[in-house]
Amino acid sequence: MKPIQDPPWTDADTADYVRIAARLQALPLDEPQVRRVALHLGRTRAMAQMLTRFELTPHEEITEIFCPAPFPPGDDAVSATPMADTPGAST
Amino acid sequence: MRTGLQTARAIAAGDISAQEALADCIARIEATDDEVNAFTDRTFDRADREALAVDRRRAAGEPLPALAGVPYAVKNLFDVEGLVTRAGSRVLLGNAPAVADAVLVQRLQVAGAVLVGGLNMDEFAYGFTTENSHYGPCRNPRDLTRVAGGSSGGSGAAVAAGQVPITLGSDTNGSIRVPSSFCGVFGLKPTFGRLTRRGSFPFVSSIDHLGPFARSAEDLAASYDAMQGADPLDPGCHATRVQPTLGSIGQGIAGLRIGALGGYFDENAGPQARKALADVAALLKAAPNVVWPDAAEARAAAFITSASEGGALHLSNLRVRSRDFEPLSVDRFISGALQPAEWYLRAQRFRSVYRQKVIALFGQWDVLLAAATPVQAPVVGSETFDLNGAAMPTRPSIGLLTQPISFAGCPVVAVPCWPQGADGLPIGVQVITAPWHEDLALRVAHFLETEGLCSAPVAAIASLVAGRPSQDFESDGGFSES
């Protein structure tokens, strides 16, 4: 697969993006805030480029409500609260 | 100063009453919190009622539940009946008070624990330092000039300061593990989807975890066990039954395949973090330089996911009252709200691939180790910290070592280490296990504690001299006998 070529992009471009996107989202930003937000967005853009270079096939779907691994099968009838006079007792 | 289980056992044995234990706790809070600033809400009236109920049960000869009479407090994003859920913000202050406790608070009440109050945090959990402009910074009991970590700073600090033996916090990208590291206490971030999140204010639904802090691994296990259980009303709660951990916590480490992470986790660790990890690895005889898959990409994906979900969640308020948001994080929220959708979707697709690689890794290892934070707690107000010669922006970078792990949803116990000795600052090590294996992480943490390498002494706030770390002390009995 061909490596992705990042198009030329400048900090001024990021600020322009923030101005327009903020208007689209009805977010009133003054110029100092545009610059601060652009700084953060520029940092995140660098992270996004890292993921853009990570190979994914069309078959990799977005994850569902995330579950790190299937919950192991077992007996559901277990209470977690042992009595205080038997510290450390498992149930 | 007693741990939570020591308190529970003393109450069950009749050595002290729950009301006496509560009085000690309140005295400690009142003596120290002007300096630490861990608490934003005090529920002392409720605590009185709960402690009295425990004492009445004992007087009536009833068996007491596991945490009967144990004082605890919760990060102020947990619903507490009758309190407005602040989530560290000013924006939410106009809301109606919660009509019911968060489910985990309900379960701790059933276990007999006594709720003392709500705790300081980074606004909407978007931070690693609890430098909260609305409520003041939460200060590190080990050195009041330094941050307590975040976003569950109040939760870590309250335990380190000996104000309560157990607290609850949340962890999306490190918000239990970072305060544990900086404050020198134990913290448990369970498997993603283990504990119900119902009744807590969200930050990033895709990654939010809830969990306890304590001064011992046993207290972590006891509180965690009390909070476990299915919750069909929380779509993010995947656990369908309880898997108790306290009973097996003393089983030691024999037979466990333990490795120390290198690569990314070494590159992003400073000297004290590396030393702490080396000390833990040596005691556990861990194999060195295990490679965690795609850690940098996972951190990037966690960052993007958090920014998008967090920004979107608050967009309506950002439009009309961004000036009421925390200045230190409002621009990050806005940036997240403006991110292209493709970044977020790609991060979520990456997560599917990443999950399989992490599961495969744990086919070869039972326990993996990494430092919890790149450096020890920075001074309040620090904009950068030095990481191996590079100046890193403080607030976004403290989670470098925690984010890849929480993005995989693996359970972690953060254990407190003291690489410079008892007079130095603490720093945490992450004890990481496969999903649903909190028991192994707690066993390892307990082993490290009983071997004397990891400990969480109460910080002596009153002895602080400006510019020098607190002298820590440990006492066997209660803070005051009554």
Mean pLDDT of B324-347: 96
Q: Give me B57's structure tokens.
A: 């049960």
Q: Give me A89's structure tokens.
A: 């007792």
B372 contacts B429 by C-beta, under 8 angstroms? yes
Select from A44, A51, A68 the Cβ nearest to the Cβ of B346.
Answer: A51
Helix (H) or strand (E) holding B309: helix B295-313
B83 contacts B45 by C-beta, under 8 angstroms? no
d(CA B299, CA B263): 14
In this predicted structure, the answer to whether residue B36 has a pLDDT above a threshold of 90 is: yes
Neighboring chain A residues of B336 at a CB cutoff of 8 Å: 44
How high is the pLDDT of residue A5? 58
| Torsion sign over Cα B462, B464, B469, B471 | negative
In this predicted structure, the answer to whether residue B441 has a pLDDT above a threshold of 80 is: yes
Reported as a pLDDT band with limits 50, 70 and 90, residue B467 is: very low
Q: Pick the residue of A71, A79, A86 with the most B CBs within 10 A to test the interface with B by mutation.
A: A71
How high is the pLDDT of residue B239? 95
Mean pLDDT of A41-50: 93
Mean pLDDT of B14-20: 98
CA distance A22 to chain B (A): 7
Q: Does B355 touch chain A (CB under 8 A)?
A: yes
How high is the pLDDT of residue B465? 43
Neighboring chain B residues of A84 at a CB cutoff of 8 Å: 8-9, 11-12, 63-68, 112
Listed residue (B244, B225, B214) closest to B445, CA to CA? B214
Neighboring chain A residues of B434 at a CB cutoff of 8 Å: 69
How high is the pLDDT of residue B462? 52
Neighboring chain B residues of A26 at a CB cutoff of 8 Å: 319
Q: Which of B89, B155, B170, B175 is catalytic?
A: B175
CB pairs < 8 Å spanning A and B: 193
Q: Does B55 touch chain A (CB under 8 A)?
A: no
Mean pLDDT of B374-392: 97
Q: Pick the residue of B109, B338, B352, B406 with the most A CBs within 10 A to test the interface with A by mutation.
A: B338
Q: Does B334 touch chain A (CB under 8 A)?
A: yes
User: How confident is the prediction for chain B on average, in pLDDT?
Assistant: 95
Reported as a pLDDT band with limits 50, 70 and 90, residue A32 is: very high
How high is the pLDDT of residue A7? 74
Q: Give me B392's structure tokens.
A: 């890193």
Q: How far is CA B71 from the centre of its chain?
A: 17
Q: Does B303 touch chain A (CB under 8 A)?
A: yes
How far is the first Cα of chain B from the last one, in angstroms, to the nearest whole number?
14
Reported as a pLDDT band with limits 50, 70 and 90, residue B226 is: very high
Instruction: Using CA coordinates, name the residue in chain B closest to A49.
Output: B343
Pairing relation of β-strands B258-261 and B287-290? parallel
Reported as a pLDDT band with limits 50, 70 and 90, residue B402 is: very high
How high is the pLDDT of residue B347? 96
A68 CB-contact burial (10 Å; exposed 0-12 / middle 13-18 / buried 19+): buried
Q: Which of B17, B75, B206, B223 is catalytic?
A: B75
In this predicted structure, the answer to whether residue A61 has a pLDDT above a threshold of 50 is: yes
Q: Give me B399's structure tokens.
A: 């989670």
Residue B175 designated active-site = yes
Q: Does B295 touch chain A (CB under 8 A)?
A: no
How high is the pLDDT of residue B469? 46
Q: Does B241 touch chain A (CB under 8 A)?
A: yes
B 120-149: CB under 8 A from A: none
Residue B151 designated active-site = yes
Backbone phi, psi, residue B473, to 5°: -140, 160
Select from A26, A29, A50 the Cβ nearest to the Cβ of B300.
Answer: A50
Q: What is the pLDDT of residues B126-176, one digit of tens each?
A: 999 999 999 999 999 999 999 999 999 999 999 999 999 999 999 999 999
d(CA B431, CA B438): 10
Residue B469 DSSP label:
P
Neighboring chain B residues of A38 at a CB cutoff of 8 Å: 335
In this predicted structure, the answer to whether residue B406 has a pLDDT above a threshold of 60 is: yes
Q: What is the pLDDT of residues B296-318, one digit of tens each?
A: 999 999 999 999 999 999 999 99
Which is higher by pLDDT, B157 or A57?
B157
CA distance B396 to chain A (A): 10
Residue B285 designated active-site = no
In this predicted structure, the answer to whether residue B103 has a pLDDT above a threshold of 90 is: yes
Q: Pick the residue of A19, A54, A61 with the most B CBs within 10 A to test the interface with B by mutation.
A: A54
B39 contacts B86 by C-beta, under 8 angstroms? no
B156 contacts B183 by C-beta, under 8 angstroms? yes
Rounded to whole angstroms, what are the CA distances from B424 to B11, B41, B198, B208, B466?
34, 31, 39, 32, 15
Q: For tokens 């510290």, name the residue.
A: A87
How high is the pLDDT of residue B144? 97
How high is the pLDDT of residue A76? 53
In this predicted structure, the answer to whether residue A46 has a pLDDT above a threshold of 50 is: yes
**Partner-chain contact A47 B66, CB within 8 Å:** no
Q: Does B192 touch chain A (CB under 8 A)?
A: yes
Rounded to 10 deg, the angle between the B330-337 and B295-313 helix axes is: 90
Neighboring chain B residues of A57 at a CB cutoff of 8 Å: none
Rounded to whole angstroms, what are the CA distances from B85 to B55, B102, B231, B317, B420?
29, 10, 21, 16, 39
Select from B246, B408, B409 the Cβ nearest to the Cβ of A88.
Answer: B246
CA distance A64 to chain B (A): 9
Amino acid letter for position B160: A
How high is the pLDDT of residue A67? 84
CA distance B171 to chain A (A): 15
How high is the pLDDT of residue A6? 63
Mean pLDDT of A70-75: 82
What whole-number percentage of chain A has pLDDT above 70? 75
Which is higher by pLDDT, B100 or A67?
B100
Reported as a pLDDT band with limits 50, 70 and 90, residue B470 is: very low
How high is the pLDDT of residue B393? 94
Q: Does B360 touch chain A (CB under 8 A)?
A: no
